[in-house]
Amino acid sequence: MAATFSSAMGRGGIVTVMNAKVYTGTTSLVSGWKATGQTPATALSSITTSGTLAATIDHLKFANLNADGPDITITGGQYSNPLIKFGKSMRCEMQAALCQIDALKALGGVEGDATSGYTITDKFPGPVSIIGDTFIVDQATGEQIDVQIVIYQFLPDAILSLVQDEATAATFDMNGDVLSVKIASVPGSTFYTILEA
């Protein structure tokens, strides 16, 4: 039986880093999303058709999505057991193996051009959307199923550290916060979605 998105998500492995497309100008598309009938697939379509592709990064060393929480825990009763948990936050940590100026401008607060030089500024860029292309390996068949990781809003840290030493090449950190958004068809709020490519 051939592997499918459903079978790979049911029992499969994500074994490689994503290639990331960074879209700017998408804040109005995904901020506080409340439109009736909006789904993750239509949100993705809005980002790619109405946003501006600012960078395509195909040399990430890692791209980790890490959740934290709860922000609030209500306890009570004789043993002060947790009764309600509320609030999560999420971070995305990415590290690029190569210097790529369009990515550093979109995510790192870098400004300038080849003529005047590139300046590391004290500015923070606004939220962007990130579409990550990767694949899941289906355990039963070994087939690769292409998927997209849709990060609707990513707020870059814009902290660029340039480490130079004799043993290793410089790398470029592109970390930030993954903001939750409201998509009408999904209960609660959403950090990111994995969709079949």
Q: What is the 3-state secondary structure (H, E, C) of 173-191?
A: ECCEEEECECCCCCCCCEC
How confident is the model over 55-84, as pLDDT tens digits? 999 999 999 999 999 999 999 999 999 999
Averaged over 34-62, what is the pLDDT?
A: 84
Q: Vertex 14, ends 10 and 16: CA angle to 5°? A: 165
Q: Where are the domains of the chain?
A: 12-67+88-196
Percent of the chain's residues with pLDDT above 90: 58
How confident is the model over 131-181, as pLDDT tens digits? 999 999 999 999 999 999 999 999 999 988 777 888 888 888 999 999 988
Which are the contacts of 91, defined by CB distance < 8 A and separation ≥ 6? 65, 66, 68, 175, 176, 177, 178
**pTM of the predicted model as reported, rounded to 2 decimal places:** 0.90
Share the mean pLDDT of the chain: 89
